[in-house]
Chain A
């Protein structure tokens, strides 16, 4: 199946992603930031689909949007303080932060301009029908140890989060 209207979808999705990311860091109300984060994550899932990675897109929607952002919203509602929205939102060292980010941006620009020759223009296209099966095989054959370690890490995170959020241990 041939891709259709690729530049349009790429510019639309990446535009939504970047604008929503700016909204995440600029909004006063944390719930509005969380909703902007949802838009960013969903448009990134669309970008993954354009990069022929449907399994990663599915995992992103289930875990990130359906799990992590829900967790953020729960915590925002639990510790919502109205006076926080009327205070000044940016801290004292905002100028240093902006300068640091600008230097980082300049670094990115320098690397990408100098290294343009290593990004080939004709990208290899993997067959999309067996993507899940191949990722699954790779997870269980090449990356078995990291897989088990990740499950252990999740167990530790669950126990730690429950212990820390309890009222009395």
Chain B
């Protein structure tokens, strides 16, 4: 038991410290948190898309549709499980499992804080890219096992798109990794000191941003920004989201590779897609946006600024609680709405309660890294939903042309120019 609690005093990730019980606990926490995030994303996406299209979205299920995701999950669990007649049963069963496993395995190396990762592999970013490329296999298996031409076409198109944009993502990632070794402290101000080498480990990349006092998106401006832009576009294509969602859009291919999947199997694909979205956003945040670092850690440094920034988590929850309570007050004063009003009021008070808990100093200090990381990833999720509401869909040949003829040469160009600028 002492060994178990001793881990909390060390400053290593559980994988490095060899504390295997803590590894299991971290994995369970990540699993629960990602599932909760996917449920929240479901509701947020429908509400935000609706408001962008000047309508209201789900309003009936709970107060303002807050219980809609739970109703959806319940419906999907209770649906009949249909397997098409000529389908290959083993491959049909295995496809959603492969997609979900690869989507969740990427969370092992995501750095929520300097020691808050399940483990810190020294090939962290390579591992994440590799496991993300395994998801393609699940999609191919899903399309082929359905024994029907719409899913087959959809899965082949979808996997071709994913493979193409993986290369662009790889180029952008390599230029970010290159920047970890170009700290400008070497001989004559060129490159890096003789002992400092670049690194593929996610935690070390964020620490390199902290040491160089610059987020990589602003380093060698506009090169860091160009690499970040290439990655941001490629990651939307990699996860088959709008505007690159031709293979799975409803009006095009009747839902593409997951046409024949119903009920729980479809919900596994859905879960895997949103988990993959959060994972690649986490890569973008860790590599370019400074991971768990608060804004301006170097210019506005010192204890006073640290304390000022440490009120942000509580402030976020207070703003959310305020919005909820304002909506509660403005609900129609009709007896039909009494249950919804009380439910929403309780929810608002719960959010306020969490905000109050985050004001307590010990909690306030520990929650900083996780909060800043989560806020940045949440901003990316909003970007995803914004893209879906704004851009028209790319036709498939336009998509492939963009990937091969623009993204990859741009990625290679950014890499070469970054290397040149870094050595000068």
Contact = CB atoms under 8 A, between A and B. Distances in A.
Interface in B126-141: 126-127, 129-131, 133-134, 136-137, 140-141
B229 interface: no
B87 to A, nearest CB: 12
B137 A62 contact: no
Contacts of B140: 70, 73-74, 77
Given A29-B88, A66-B134, A69-B137, A132 B144 contact: no
A70 B163 contact: yes
B141 A35 contact: yes
A66 B197 CA distance: 28
B200 A66 contact: no
B134 A65 contact: yes
B156 A74 contact: yes
Interface size band for B: 20 to 34
Nearest to A29: B88
Contacts of A35: 91, 94, 141
A57 B121 CA distance: 12
B133 A31 contact: no
A91 interface: no
A60 to B, nearest CB: 8
Interface in A1-34: 1-2, 4, 29, 31-32
Nearest to B155: A77
A54 B163 contact: no
Contact of A77 (B16, B131, B144, B166): B144
Contact of A58 (B90, B123, B137, B199): B123
Max chain B C-beta neighbours (<10 A), residue from A2, A73, A131: A73
Nearest to A60: B130
- Dominant SS among interface residues on chain A: helix
Interface size band for A: 20 to 34
B159 A54 contact: no
Contacts of B144: 31, 73, 77
B122 interface: yes
A148 interface: no
Contact of B126 (A58, A67, A130): A58
Interface of B: 16, 18, 20, 88, 90-91, 94, 121-123, 126-127, 129-131, 133-134, 136-137, 140-141, 144, 152, 156, 159-160, 163, 166, 197-200
Interface of A: 1-2, 4, 29, 31-32, 35, 38, 54-55, 57-59, 61-62, 65-67, 69-70, 73-74, 77, 128-133
Given A4-B18, A62-B129, A133-B198, 15 more contacts: A4-B20, A32-B90, A32-B91, A54-B121, A54-B123, A55-B123, A61-B127, A62-B130, A62-B133, A67-B133, A74-B140, A77-B140, A77-B156, A130-B122, A133-B197
9 contacts: A31-B88, A54-B121, A55-B123, A65-B137, A66-B133, A66-B166, A73-B144, A74-B159, A132-B199
